[in-house]
Every structure is written in structure tokens, then in C-alpha cells.
Amino acid sequence: MSGRPEALFPLFAALDSLPGIGPKTAKTLADSGVELPRDLLLSLPYAVVDRRRRTTIRGEDLPRILTVTVTVGAHRPPRNRSGAYRIHVTDAETEFQLVFFHARGDYLRRLLPEGTQRVVSGKVELFDGIAQMVHPDHAVPLEDAGDIPEIEPVYHLTAGITQKTMFKATRGVLDRLPEVAEWADPALVAREAWPAWAAALGLAHAPRGADDVGPHSAARTRLAYDELFAHQVTLALARARDRKARGIVTQGDGRLRDRVIAALPFALTGAQGRAVAEITGDMAAPQRMNRLLQGDVGAGKTAVAFLALLAAVEAGGQGVMMAPTEILARQHLEGLQPMAADAGVRLELLTGRDKGRDRDAKIADLAAGRIDILVGTHAVFQKDVDFHDLRLAIIDEQHRFGVSQRLELGAKGQAVDVLVMTATPIPRSLALAQYGDMDVSILDEKPPGRKPVRTALISTERMDEVIARLRAAIDEGRQCYWVCPLVEESERVDLASADERFKRLRAILGEGVVGLVHGQMPPSEKDAAMAAFQAGETKVLVATTVIEVGVNVPNASIMVIERAEIFGLAQLHQLRGRVGRGAAQSTCLLMYQPPLGETGRRRLEVLRETEDGFRIAQTDLEMRGAGDLIGTAQSGLPRFRVADLERQAGLMATAQQDARKLLADDPGLDGPRGQATRVLLWLTGQDRAIRLISVG
């Protein structure tokens, strides 16, 4: 079954085949992303309105939505065209007014004839001491009162679409639901007491109270699970296809690794040992490795990466380590050189700066296998760069390298193993959503001997004190980063620009003491400013966030972050990780502009309380949401219609285990549950994944 199953055809029909939707409404809905009846199914209500009938509005807390039976009294048409049309009505105990604007009198007389009884429902509020219901949502004869739902679902609306339209159309789709076989694991469904798919949709669209529209109701959880499960099946299929590509068995004998481990000034942490075992285990297997190494700031990723590279060298192969910028590539080289010397292997750097004879010699040595480990920028992708026997590619900072580059690098060696390193702790649910096709190793322990960084919150009103403290620290020979949020002074936002701050600090601290780095500078100037700071020539580096990834200056022990309240927590945690790398006690000052709101204070206090990047990222996720956390544009995060990654984090892990187990048992999705899962992939718009099976 590679084509769409026939049972699903009604859900893929034209929108205007649904009750209450004409061509114009269909176009409006399509513009907002609802293109098919299937999409309407997953446009779930977010709130409910209680329209249960009351005898009177008297004694109710206004304003609120009320439903009562009334006797219609006198009509009062407006005196002028823009005035209000008022109708007096009485319920069992009191009287109030129905108010209409721009309404035609003849229409209202037919709808609400004097002396008749009607059931009206709408928002009642007090206006000049008189209770009014402006434009009732419902006004019907007694015999039609059953058409008013007691608990009415409230949908997110696009301009031009009413709640009535959504209600009618979603009921139309629910009437068309096909019979489908169960794709979820029966044991899971039983354990969680989940309704079946069609029943869950019925319940989600007909909530009986506020709890039913929350993320934890059984129906919602079930539908969120289906969405996450479909996403994870797609990733698992992609992973299975990648793993089918024959890998190379790379089995080192440990001799080089033992030398390096013996020479390290500290023992490996338990987490480092585990990660090395997972990575070398993958390298020794016949499938291609595709693993993510996720480490907190200062958790010792470099040592783990180098030990993996040595396993490739021990097996007679080569390794490459890629960094997104030249500064970081040079830094990796400096970090790895002492270990390479201990192991007795040849390590070289290749960047865009290499030219002429030097470059030709390096390329010849690489092709002949005389270079064991290469560190480089994307210069490594150039056509004439060939390896003798490339076994392992390590890519630093996933989000700077696209998937296409991962593939290009793979083409340099026959089915080379890939390890991606990221220093951004992201919560497990997001890691699985983003990197679900990869296996994940986590470094969550700090090596011994790293002093915690003292973190303080300080108001920008105390700027002069901060600068005075800075001057004293510089006199003691220490260095400082000063991070600003934006480059040029913007009219709209009163943010300290890097240029302004640089000039002010230079005026106070003296010429030649302060350096400046920001995103708009030419790369050569940026490199020169960084180099001067690394060499200790400048004492203060004023920077925008270009310094957050991987820069290592052990003598820098102070980090000032201006307007900290507008940064993401994960970003602040990364920035703070730039200090605390040397022997001196380090300090991070989070400067905020008062007044700081309750949420703002709570966010920044988390940084003061903990240095655990995973806990910080989890807090950030709960307080800001997934899109903000990774920056929606480059997040690579799928858009889920029902699932809420912040509040349903545990479901993602369950969905991944379930998807991987299903494919291990039934790789072609041919069994009964596999066939049902194919239907789910069509329903969730993940049908591209089915092609992964048919081509595999």
C-alpha cells in the first residue's frame, strides 16, 4: 500500500464539501493552514463556554456568558443610523436588554416577535447600571433550544471565520470518520486507558468541561501521542535507511587511547567513560554511526571526541573534526595538540587561510595517509581534499552545519561514521523531536576541579559600581567579557549598543585596554580582536553574542551581560560558560534594566541557583516555549498541531521507543500494526516516509 488508502478519501476531499463552508471560507481557511477536512480534525478547541440553561441572570457575577429563557417585550429602534436597536426582555426574576448595532428592524421583529418566548445565550454585562446582552450568540424558539450545545467548544479563529462555522464544519468532518485499525501499542493504550483514535477526536471536539481541553485529558494525550508517534516513525525510517548504508567496522585496540587517558591530569568522569564506550561501540558495528554528543558547558566533550578519533587511527584510518569558524577550529587544534603529542599521532589544521605550497603539501599528506587527524572549517569540503581512509567525522555545533554538509562529508569516506557535538543542553523532548534519527550520548557531569562561577543580578542603575570593580580586577591582571545585546543604537529599542559601550569603557579604562567584536565586522578584524584578547593584550572584550560558542580564554574571569533579561536562559548559560576556565574565582554579572517583572526575575534567578544546563534549559522551555528556545527559524523543530512539547515532554520519549520497537519487529510495516501505522502516516501528512520503505 503505497498510495493513499481509500477509506481516507473523505478526509482529503475539498473543504467546501463540508456543511457551512463555501469557496470563499475554504480559501480563508486554506490561507491559515487548514487545507483539507483532515486539518480541521486536528484544529482542536482551546477553551469551552458553559451554555447550560439558568432560570435568571439575577445574582450572577457579570460580565459572563449566560443562557436563559426570556419573554420578549418592547422593541426600541435607534433614533439615528449609528444608534443601538434595543429589545426589552424579562426572565423568571428580572429584566434586561438585548442590544444590536447596524441591525435591520424587520429582521429582528421576525427573529424576536413581541410577546413570544425565546432562549437567548450570550455575554451579559452591566452598562450604566443596566444589564445588557449585546448581539446574542443564540436566540431561538423553545423547541430549538436543544441545538444550543450545553458546553460549547471554542476554536482558534482566523479573521472572517466564526465559531458557528468551525462548529458546523468540524461536526461535518466527524461524521465522515473512517473505520481505522489501531496503530498504537495495545499495551500502552490499555495502561493509559486511552480512547481509540476516532473516539478521541469525538471527545476532543465535544469537551464536557475545561479539563477536557487541557493537555492532560485522555483524548488530547492520545491524539498528541499519535502525532509524536508518526513523527518518530518517520525519523526511525530515515534512521533505518541510513543504517542500511553499509558502514565500516572500525575496531581500535586501545593502545593510543590508553596513553592519552594515562597522561590526562584528571580521571574521566563516569559520563565521559559511558559516552566513549557508546561511540566506539557504534564505530565497531557494521552500520553507520549517526550519534549526537550533547554536553553541558565544561563537561569535557573535547576529550571524548579525541578518544573517538584515536579509535579510528588505531584501526588504521583517519578522523576529521569540523568547526563552524576559523577561531573555533584553531582552538580545537590548541586543545587537541597536547593529547595528540601524548598519543604520538599527527594532527593538522586546514582552513580557508591555507594557500599555495603549504596547502598542497597538506593535501598530499592527507591523501597519502600521513596525517592521522585533521581539524578544519568547511574548507575540508573542497573538491581537491581527499582522505586516504576517513573513518570518523566529528561535527561541532550541529545548528551551524546543515544536514547537506553532513552528507557531503559522508561522501569523503565510504559510509563514514558521524558524531555531532553540541554544547547546548536542550531538554530531552526537544532533543528527540529535533535529533530523533540520531542516537544520543549525554555528558551531564563536570570534571573535578572546575570552580563554580559566582552569579549575581545587578541593576543597570549601578553601572558605575560595576565599572569601578572592573578597573580593580584589571589592575590585578584579570580579563573580562562585556556582552551587549545589539550592534547599533536602535531608535526603537533602548538597548546598549556595543559601539557605545566600547567608547564609554575605553574613555574610562584607557586606550588599548578595551577591544570590540561584533557580527557586522569583517572576519579578519574580528579574528584580530579575538587574538589580542586571547594573548592578553586587551583586558576587556566588548562583544555581541559571537563569543558564545567555544571561545577559551582561561585568564578571563569576569563576564558582564547587559540587559540579561532579553536573552534566552540557554544563551546566558552558554555565555557564562566562557568564564570559570582558569584558576581564579570567576564572576558573572547579569545586568537587568529595572523594573524587572516577576517572570523575568524568576528566569534570571534560576541561573543564580544552578549551573546545570539541562535544568536551565527545561525551565526556559516551560517559561518561553519551544520556538523561542531554539529560535524557530533555524530550530528544525516540526510543527505539531496537538502535541505540546512543553507540557507533554514524556510522551515524546515513549513515542520514540514505540516507533523504534515497531520497526525492529516489522521493518517494512507489513504486519497488521504496520499497515495501521501507514494509515496514520497518511493522516498526519508524513506519507513521504512511506517512500523510505518502498525505496529501501
Question: Quick check: is 88 in a domain?
Answer: yes
The residue among 443, 468, 483 that closes a domain is 443
The whole-angstrom distance between residue 363's C-alpha and the CA centroid of its chain comes to 40
Are residue 411 and residue 541 in the same domain, yes or no? no
pLDDT for residue 547: 61
Determine the Cα–Cα distance for residues 262 and 357; give it in Å rounded to an integer. 37
| 531: containing domain | 454-610
C-alpha cell at 506: 575605553
Q: Give the span between the Cα atoms of 306 and 276, in whole angstroms.
A: 10
* Domain final position from 550, 579, 610: 610
Q: What is the mean pLDDT of residues 41-52?
A: 91
Residues 87 and 120 sit within 8 Å (Cβ to Cβ): no
Quote helix, strand, coil % in the chain, to nearest 5.
45, 20, 35
Does one domain contain both 302 and 437? yes
Distance CA 7, CA 17 (A): 17
Q: Is residue 406 part of a domain?
A: yes
**Assigned domain for 650 exists:** no
Q: Residue 681 pLDDT > 60, yes or no?
A: yes
Amino acid at 606: V
Residues 386 and 531 in one domain: no
Same domain, 280 and 423: yes
**What does the pLDDT read at residue 631?**
39
Residues 550 and 581 in one domain: yes
What is the DSSP pairing of strand 47-50 with strand 151-154? antiparallel
Q: How far apart are CA 660 and CA 231, in angstroms?
A: 12
Residues 507 and 432 in one domain: no
The CATH number of the domain where 134 resides is what?
2.40.50.140
Please tell me whether residues 421 and 324 are part of one structural domain.
yes
Question: pTM for the whole thing?
Answer: 0.65
Cis omega (within 30 of 0) on the bond before 595? Answer: yes
CATH number at residue 330: 3.40.50.300
409 and 291 inside one domain: yes
- Amino acid 645: pLDDT: 74
Give the Cβ contact number of residue 379 at 10 Å. Answer: 17
Whether residue 642 lies inside any domain: the answer is: no
Residue 518 in domain: yes
Q: How many CB atoms lie within 10 A of CB 114?
A: 12
Instruction: Report the pLDDT averaged over residues 611-627.
Output: 69
pLDDT of residue 49 exceeding 50: yes
Q: Cell numbers of 302, please?
A: 573535547
Residue 190 lies in a domain: no
Tell me the average pLDDT across 525-547. 84
Q: What is the per-residue pLDDT across 111-143, written as a single tens digit (0 to 9) for each? A: 999 999 999 999 999 998 899 999 999 999 999
Establish if 616 belongs to a structural domain: no
* CA-closest candidate to residue 373, choices 294, 464, 299, 309: 309
Q: Note the pLDDT of residue 481.
A: 92
How many separate domains does the chain show? 3
Q: What is the mean pLDDT of residues 33-50?
A: 91
pLDDT at 408 (0 to 100):
61
Does residue 334 fall inside a structural domain?
Answer: yes
Q: Using CA atoms, how far apart are residues 633 and 646, in angstroms rounded to an integer?
A: 18
Residue with cell 477536512: 37
Place of cell 448581539: 135
Cα torsion 257, 313, 334, 484: sign: negative
Q: Show which of 610, 644, 674 is a domain's final residue.
A: 610
Q: What is the pLDDT of residues 377-417, one digit of tens each?
A: 878 877 788 899 999 999 886 545 545 555 566 556 567 88
Taking CB atoms within 8 Å and a gap of at least 24, the contacts of 406-413 are 408/381, 409/320, 409/322, 409/380, 409/381, 410/288, 412/320, 412/380, 412/385, 412/386, 412/387, 413/248, 413/387, 413/389
Q: Which residue has the higher pLDDT, 301 or 347?
A: 347
Q: How far from 256 is each of 10, 89, 308, 333, CA to CA, in Å? A: 63, 91, 11, 18
Give percent of the chain above pLDDT 90: 47
- Listed range (5-14, 94-103, 315-324, 483-492) with the worst mean pLDDT: 483-492
Residues 425 and 460 in one domain: no
- The mean of the pLDDT values for the chain is 85
Residues 265 and 358 in one domain: yes
Task: Give the pLDDT score at 416.
Answer: 85
Please state, in angstroms and rounded to a whole number, the distance separating the CA atoms of residues 640 and 200: 17
If 0-12 CB within 10 Å is exposed, 13-18 middle and 19+ buried, where does residue 107 land? exposed
8, 205, 396 from 681: Cα distances, Å: 12, 22, 33
Residue 632 has pLDDT above 60, yes or no: no
Mean pLDDT of 5-14: 91
Say if residue 471 is in the same domain as residue 543: yes
- Does residue 290 share a domain with residue 143? no
Q: What is the DSSP string of 478-503?
A: -EEEEE-SBSS--SSS---BHHHHHH
**Block residue for cell numbers 500502552:** 188
For residues 282 and 557, what is the distance between their CA atoms, to the nearest angstrom? 39
User: CA 673 to CA 680: how far, in whole Å?
Assistant: 10
CA distance 580 to 577: 7
Q: What pLDDT score does 87 carry?
A: 97
